[in-house]
Structure 1
Amino acid sequence: MRGCSQEGEIKIKPGKLQRLDFILIGIALLAAFLNIYKIWNEQYANAYYTAAVTSMLQSWHNFFYASLDPGGYVTVDKPPVTFWVQTLFAYIFGVHGWSVILPQALAGVGSVLLMYILVKPTYGKTAARLASLVMACTPIAVAVSRTNNIDSLLVFTLLLATWMLFRAVNNQKLAWLLGAFAMIGVGFNMKMLQAYMVVPAFYVFYLLAFKTGWKKKLAVLAAATVVMSVVTLSYAVVVDMIPEKNRPYIGGSQTNSVLELAFGYNGIARLKGMGRGGMGSGGAPPDQRQTRQEEDVTPDRQQTRQDGDNMPGGQQVQQAGSNMPDQQQMQPDGNNSPGGYPGVNEGLSPAPGGGGPPGQGGGGGGGMFGTGRAGPLRLLQSELSGQASWLLPFVAFACVGLLAGTRLRKLTAKQKEALFWLTWLLPTMVFFSVAGFFHQYYLIMLAPPVAALAGTGWAELWNQYRNKEGWKRWLLPAGLLATTAFELYILQPYQEQIGAGWLIGMGVAGTGLALLLLLAAKKEKLVSIAAIAGMLVLLAAPLYWSATPLLYGDNSMLPQAGPSRQGFGQRQGMGGGMNSSSINTKLLEYVTRNNTGEAYLFMTPEASTAESYIIETGQAVVAMGGFSGSDPILTAEKLAQMVADKKVKFFLIPSSGSGGRGGGSEVMDWIRANGTEVPKEEWQSNSAQDSPQGGRPMGMGNSETLYEINI
């Protein structure tokens, strides 16, 4: 038998072993370790999305719409494709934190491999390896991949679209081109307009690289755009055409429309801001300006889930150098959250773990979430630079080397691909520089172009250095030196936590290797080692930053990387991932025992209370106002009809006030006027066992009331 010895032993031909890239295998294993290790410690991950997966497993109706609750009352505020994938994994492995995280973790590893596949044909093996390694060591990419947030799978999808685009150009095949643009449409149905950040790069690369006449080229591009648009809008149009009574309310929208959700709350509102102080005006409608995930400042809770920074014991943490005010003492700033809770003033520092180094507030537009002040240098500010910006100075030098002497009519394959990655990078950087509202984990969109340009740029700069190409030969040492200085700038605010050794080691190694390239250019073997070592030195700090989520704990709601703000002993994200049950078992027992056939076990204003009950029980616990309590789903008349139809009779709501939560004061007033207050001793638990972290989720404190309504 071929490949076997006489003794029956299998022999591997030497040629096959030589074709295996063991360095790439090592990089992939590193990515797998960073993305997967310890994800089994997550109980709920981002409970909002895990609750949806739990509900989607119960019926095809819930599956298609990505219903938040098993009763099909309201959807999550994102398109369904990623949750379809997560539901498949949960169907196979069961509903666990790790099972809904796993597809994103694998997508992160897949993105690392795709970087190699995309870069190698044009730039060679070394450039491809470096691009893959940079992708694997991008901190925010690792942090997001360790959660059930959408962005890791989105980036993988867009890189798959890029592979199809490159294949279309290399083979001059129309089918691959149409497929590439269709994949962008699939990405839209993962996270809407964020997927369209790559469209300028696809247009530019196709126009530059596809070999055909301009008339045919433009006609084909128009056809590809039509395909992309059809795939993009297919789900939204189908859902919006279905009568509202036959489907869940579209969570996050103000008009029960997927299209409005895409271009409003998940579209222009992200650019213009959510209407808060310091974040621009316009944006989302007034009653949607602050959502629970973005700004959950609730006076009736001692725990805040705002940035996932609740520490053990449910105590509010203090950021070094600035204290977060007690939530019950916060005053309105004129832009109250939809739940009627006080807004957070612009000048407040972010909660610990909010992105900036110790003692520094985010400040300005979006500063509450560690996104710094809007402006051309925003991505270089300390609030954001540690997430994906480490190699931006090197990328700048690399682009000079890659594109120097470019002539539009005589572009090489290398220059065309460099322009593709640059056209992905620059518009994305511009968006994040001016956007009124985003979270740090959105910066994963920078990871692929930075990785590609760093890897290909190093290879090009090394060739220019080795071939002594005039002034371009000095771009490599200059790029290493400038990037070393920038990384020291990122590290300096963390010196007290990580130790001065990091700064000294990085400074000496990076500067020394750059000087060696400048002064010992004639010693080829020595400088070749220095060139690759210099790049590896620049990746040391990003690699450590990438490891911090698994070292100190994940923040599943608002992922980010970096040393803990309170020192090495603290977890970063105890609260955001809902890592321990927040179910009031006594409440659950009471409403279950007294259910007389109602479809909904009980209703509550927003998802933060409902989600853990959904995950643990699979029962229809309903968020009346969707994710943040601000969706205008209910009126008093609609609710009265639901009660009359025996859909629900129990309501867990704040003891007083409403301000728009769960449908507005009208709905809350109707519940209080028509309901009978259930004695607290019947349903309220005083046992600390119901709250392992010592916190008091809704339904476990003294500021909520359970009402029963029978009509």
Structure 2
Amino acid sequence: MNRKQKRIDKWLVGILTLAVALNFMNIWEDEYVNPYYTSAVKSMMQNLHNFFFASFDPAGFVTVDKPPVAFWIQTISAKIFGFHGWSVILPQALAGVGSVILLYVMIKKIFGVAAGRIAALTMAITPIVPAVSRTNNIDSLLVFTLLVATWMLFKAVAMKKHRWLFLAFVLIGVGFNMKMMQAYMVLPAFYLFYWLAAKIDWKKKIGLLSGATVLLIVVSLSWATIVDLIPEDKRPYIGSSETNSVLELALGYNGISRLTGEMSSGGSNGQNEQPIPPSGNMQDEPPLANEELQTGENTADSSDNENQQNSNLDSGQDLNFKNAPGGQFPPQMDGDNNGPGGGNTGRFNTGTPGVFRLIQDGLADQISWFLPLAIVSIIGLLSGVRLKETLSTKVLHTIFWLAWLVPVALFFSIAGFFHQYYLIMLAPPIAAVIGAGLPVLWKAYRKNEGWKSWLLPIGIALTAGLQVSIMLPDKETIGLTFILVVGIIGIILALALAVIKQRSAINTYMMTAALSVLVIGPLYWAMTPILYGGNSMLPEAGPTSSKDGQLPQIDDMAFPGDEQDVSMNNDNQVGTNEAPNDEKSPTNREKRNDGPGMNGQVNQSLLTFLEKNRNGTKYLFATLDSTTAAPYIIETGEAVMTMGGFSGADSILTVTKLEELVESGDVHYFLIGNRGMGGNAEIISWIQENGTEVSAEEWRENEDNQQVGPGGGASKLYYVDMEGEE
């Protein structure tokens, strides 16, 4: 009994309890999570065809913009526990806790129990980790998969069993089938570690790594190759691709375009492309051409709209771009110079590319709370290493985590297109080097090892300073006094450690107190999705409740075709200059977790009308983008055609093909706005010319409350029937 008790790490139990709370608490309140992916799960539950292709809609018309493995897991979870918001979140929440456990196991084995505990705690409270894990976005599952692959790699070297190496690379291939090229970010660390650590001759290393690479490629491209070989009329259109190809999607939109930031608006086949300006500065960029933002009434002259748009942008006033027609987006607006790095908030709130990007507002509060301490830890871990000597196991493992950290940090420092929650890729290496490094820094400090003894107080002081700068932009929410007290105590304790260098209990107490202070800020941030409600479309952490009375910020948007937070809020029309009345504005939880779909509700009058009049058509109705379709798929399980894919920009249909669908009786009703994204303007024109507009009194719940429709302008319902046409 006593031996069993000794094997139980009570500190780990406490850390895991915290991780479970951060990842699981209140997830049952987020009923529909990210509707784009939740709709796919609903569709995939209906048949194996949809399941295999990760179809967005029950009819298998178009896929989501990612590979299927993560959604297979979510669908299986929903099959077992029933279709609920929490059942599609469950795999990611479990993965978040699993990642904490894996880090503990791997770091403890090499660097000791204390190191494992510190790494696990750091991973658990890194704000973006629970923020992502509480949603059905797939990054948490991807990170867990890559950490399992890491465990296998370490096992391959320690046991000298080559099969573990092959399994590790196979698992990275599985990660590719979760989120494509993002899984390959860890490959430099895998190749470098095995080359340095494996106790075999270099020729055999080349052979084994070559074989592992072949397996990686085969597994990575297996699903993509199968899908691309299937005739296009036998499978869904590949969402957000330009050529209806999974391989093109992987290498383009989900590949190199993430780095360059230059891409067309979904699958426009080169038409009406709006590449992201690399500068992230909109002052030198022209306004949107030919796709002007329109008011809900759609009565203003286009030139007036353009002038109004430019006036708003020049004044720095926020436009309600989340209501933009068809999910289109204007060039980037400059952010405020109020971030920790003194930089702009940048596109999608990801800062200005450069060396200090990760400590700018929008990114620092998601991932960088312990970054100075991580850098100092790396210095301590690698100090005294001589390349001519045989590297120790601890040094080799440090090099692995460093080879994971540096390339990924470099990517996020220069990339043109990503979202804040992608930063979860940095959480494992940062947590690992801090866990491994802090005991080393403490030992150097206690033994007064020259310049190394200064690393601990320096790391604590720099980290405290950065944390103050991270919290300052939210001083009105959390209180300036709280921020200053945390910062001042942290810096004072760091200075005390620097001055009082002696072996006594007081040093231990001071270091424990200092590290405890450094935990307060990130722990609070990690709790904010529970306290204020999370954003399931674009997960982020932070006390954002003070922004409830503001219009949506441009930095909250996503690029067309990705997991964007497109809100069709009936109360706010595109281009309005006035913020909603603070007394009437919803809370964060109400805005972000407000029901089925991007706008939080199904138009029950429309649904009743369509169910009564559809006359057995395959599709309940057709619309331009998934924003409109998602709530109806989730609520009814019926097929809704998204003619332009996720954002309305995919060129899926031709006029001829649409005519065939109407003639065959597959679809008759079309809910659209005024314009088409990408190459779909001709489709919209054809519907308007050949269809009969259904009176708003028959389907709109409130005639005075005109919702912005897919394609821009007030939404209109058309009935198209080709009977009698030649």
Q: Same fold (TM over 0.5)?
A: yes
Give CA deviations for 1:466-515 in whole Å, capped at 9, x if unaligned.
23322212211111112111212212222222112322322232123222
Gaps of 5+ in 2: 281-287, 298-311, 550-585
For residue 422 of structure 2, what is the aligned residue in structure 1? 442
Mapped pair 1:644 → 2:644: no
8 Å contact from structure 1 (residues 123, 456) kept in 2: yes
Counterpart AA for 1:524: S
Gaps of 5+ in 1: 1-12, 278-282, 303-317, 331-336, 689-693
8 Å contact from structure 2 (residues 296, 713) kept in 1: no
Q: What is the rounded CA distance, in whole Å, between the counterparts of 1:521 and 1:568 in structure 2?
A: 48
For residue 310 of structure 1, what is the aligned residue in structure 2? none
Counterparts of residues 292-311 of structure 1 (less than 5 Å)? 299=294
8 Å contact from structure 1 (residues 47, 577) kept in 2: no
Counterpart AA for 1:600: Y
8 Å contact from structure 1 (residues 297, 327) kept in 2: no
Pick one of 689, 702, 720 that aligns with 1:709: 720
8 Å contact from structure 1 (residues 154, 195) kept in 2: yes
Counterpart AA for 2:247: L
Pick one of 661, 678, 685 that aligns with 2:701: 685
Deviation at 1:371, TM superposition (A): 0.7
For residue 613 of structure 2, what is the aligned residue in structure 1? 594
Q: What is the rounded CA distance, in whole Å, between the counterparts of 2:83 and 2:663 in structure 1?
A: 34
Mapped pair 1:479 → 2:459: yes
Q: What is the rounded CA distance, in whole Å, between the counterparts of 1:284 and 1:481 in structure 2?
A: 52
3-state SS, counterpart of residue 490 of structure 1? helix
For residue 150 of structure 2, what is the aligned residue in structure 1? 162
Deviation at 1:349, TM superposition (A): 4.2
Counterparts of residues 236-251 of structure 1 (less than 5 Å)? 236-251=224-239
**CA 1:81–1:275: 2 relative to 1, 3 Å:** closer
**CA 1:511–1:586: 2 relative to 1, 3 Å:** same
**CA 1:356–1:447: 2 relative to 1, 3 Å:** farther
**CA 1:518–1:327: 2 relative to 1, 3 Å:** closer
**CA 1:590–1:643: 2 relative to 1, 3 Å:** same
8 Å contact from structure 1 (residues 28, 112) kept in 2: yes
8 Å contact from structure 2 (residues 548, 588) kept in 1: no
Mapped pair 1:324 → 2:318: yes
Identity in percent: 50
**CA 1:288–1:140: 2 relative to 1, 3 Å:** farther
Deviation at 1:534, TM superposition (A): 2.0
**CA 1:464–1:196: 2 relative to 1, 3 Å:** same
Comparing 183-192 and 464-473, the one that deviates more = 464-473
For residue 333 of structure 1, what is the aligned residue in structure 2? none
**CA 1:127–1:568: 2 relative to 1, 3 Å:** farther
Q: What is the rounded CA distance, in whole Å, between the counterparts of 1:445 and 1:598 in structure 2?
A: 45
Mapped pair 1:535 → 2:519: no
Q: What is the rounded CA distance, in whole Å, between the counterparts of 1:206 and 1:125 in structure 2?
A: 25
Deviation at 1:702, TM superposition (A): 8.1
**CA 1:182–1:289: 2 relative to 1, 3 Å:** farther
For residue 527 of structure 2, what is the aligned residue in structure 1? 547
**CA 1:379–1:361: 2 relative to 1, 3 Å:** closer
Deviation at 1:244, TM superposition (A): 0.6
Counterpart AA for 2:350: T
Q: What is the rounded CA distance, in whole Å, between the counterparts of 1:490 and 1:460 in structure 2?
A: 27
Q: What is the rounded CA distance, in whole Å, between the counterparts of 1:288 and 1:30 in structure 2?
A: 46
Comparing 83-92 and 463-472, the one that deviates more = 463-472
Mapped pair 1:388 → 2:367: yes
Deviation at 1:326, TM superposition (A): 5.5
Q: What is the rounded CA distance, in whole Å, between the counterparts of 1:444 and 1:326 in structure 2?
A: 28
Mapped pair 1:344 → 2:341: no
For residue 513 of structure 1, what is the aligned residue in structure 2? 493
**CA 1:97–1:297: 2 relative to 1, 3 Å:** farther
For residue 450 of structure 2, what is the aligned residue in structure 1? 470
Q: What is the rounded CA distance, in whole Å, between the counterparts of 1:32 and 1:261 in structure 2?
A: 35
Deviation at 1:368, TM superposition (A): 3.4
Give CA deviations for 1:98-118 in whole Å, capped at 9, x if unaligned.
111111111111111111011
Q: What is the rounded CA distance, in whole Å, between the counterparts of 2:648 and 2:348 in structure 1?
A: 21
Deviation at 1:300, TM superposition (A): 5.3
For residue 81 of structure 2, what is the aligned residue in structure 1? 93
| RMSD over equivalenced CA pairs, Å | 2.9
Counterparts of residues 50-61 of structure 1 (less than 5 Å)? 50-61=38-49
Q: What is the rounded CA distance, in whole Å, between the counterparts of 2:438 and 2:19 in structure 1?
A: 21
Q: What is the rounded CA distance, in whole Å, between the counterparts of 1:301 and 1:210 in structure 2?
A: 64
**CA 1:643–1:361: 2 relative to 1, 3 Å:** farther
**CA 1:301–1:532: 2 relative to 1, 3 Å:** farther
Q: What is the rounded CA distance, in whole Å, between the counterparts of 2:680 and 2:689 in structure 1?
A: 14
Counterparts of residues 201-220 of structure 1 (less than 5 Å)? 201-220=189-208
8 Å contact from structure 1 (residues 78, 190) kept in 2: yes
**CA 1:659–1:473: 2 relative to 1, 3 Å:** closer
Q: TM-score normalised to the size of structure 2?
A: 0.85
**CA 1:575–1:496: 2 relative to 1, 3 Å:** closer
3-state SS, counterpart of residue 540 of structure 2? coil
Mapped pair 1:233 → 2:221: yes
Counterpart AA for 1:588: L
Q: What is the rounded CA distance, in whole Å, between the counterparts of 2:703 and 2:664 in structure 1?
A: 35
Deviation at 1:574, TM superposition (A): 4.4
Deviation at 1:568, TM superposition (A): 8.5
8 Å contact from structure 1 (residues 288, 630) kept in 2: no
For residue 192 of structure 1, what is the aligned residue in structure 2? 180
Deviation at 1:275, TM superposition (A): 4.9
Deviation at 1:290, TM superposition (A): 7.5
Q: What is the rounded CA distance, in whole Å, between the counterparts of 1:348 and 1:104 in structure 2?
A: 34
Q: TM-score normalised to the size of structure 1?
A: 0.86
Q: What is the rounded CA distance, in whole Å, between the counterparts of 1:299 and 1:207 in structure 2?
A: 58
Deviation at 1:322, TM superposition (A): 5.4
Mapped pair 1:620 → 2:639: yes
8 Å contact from structure 1 (residues 356, 370) kept in 2: no
Pick one of 40, 43, 59 that aligns with 2:28: 40
**CA 1:152–1:327: 2 relative to 1, 3 Å:** closer
Q: What is the rounded CA distance, in whole Å, between the counterparts of 2:590 and 2:334 in structure 1?
A: 22
Counterparts of residues 375-414 of structure 1 (less than 5 Å)? 375-408=354-387, 409-414=389-394
**CA 1:41–1:565: 2 relative to 1, 3 Å:** closer
8 Å contact from structure 1 (residues 600, 620) kept in 2: yes
3-state SS, counterpart of residue 266 of structure 1? helix
**CA 1:264–1:326: 2 relative to 1, 3 Å:** closer
8 Å contact from structure 2 (residues 269, 651) kept in 1: no
Q: What is the rounded CA distance, in whole Å, between the counterparts of 2:414 and 2:135 in structure 1?
A: 27
Counterpart AA for 2:642: A
For residue 285 of structure 2, what is the aligned residue in structure 1? none
